[in-house]
Amino acid sequence: MYEVVSVTLNAGVLLDTLQFALPSIAFGLTVTLYYSLSRAFGHGFGYTVGIMFLPFIFVLLLGVGRSRYTRPDKYRDKF
């Protein structure tokens, strides 16, 4: 009986850790993705914040606005 309770408590701690870690990792990856997107169109971190809070407006502005896609420097020499 004691082993069952111990395993259950350890699984609960693991699940609590995952519940904290996975959303944090997802948020970090989302910010990185949006920052890369805004840098690819010549904007900075302020535009990234705009995409985070109002994506339906700022992503639309990337598509129909005056922003132009610029290839990152690391890919420029390959073509």
The pLDDT confidence band at residue 5, using thresholds 50, 70 and 90, is: very low
Contact by Cβ (8 Å): 51, 38: yes
Q: How far apart are CA 79 and CA 69, in angstroms?
A: 16
Specify the amino acid at residue 73: D
**0.85 exceeded by the pTM?**
no
Specify the amino acid at residue 11: A
Query: Which residues lie closer than 8 Å to 30 by C-beta, 6 or more apart?
Result: 52
Contact by Cβ (8 Å): 33, 52: no
Write the pLDDT tens digit of every residue in 17-71: 888 888 899 999 999 999 999 999 989 999 999 999 999 999 999 989 898 888 7
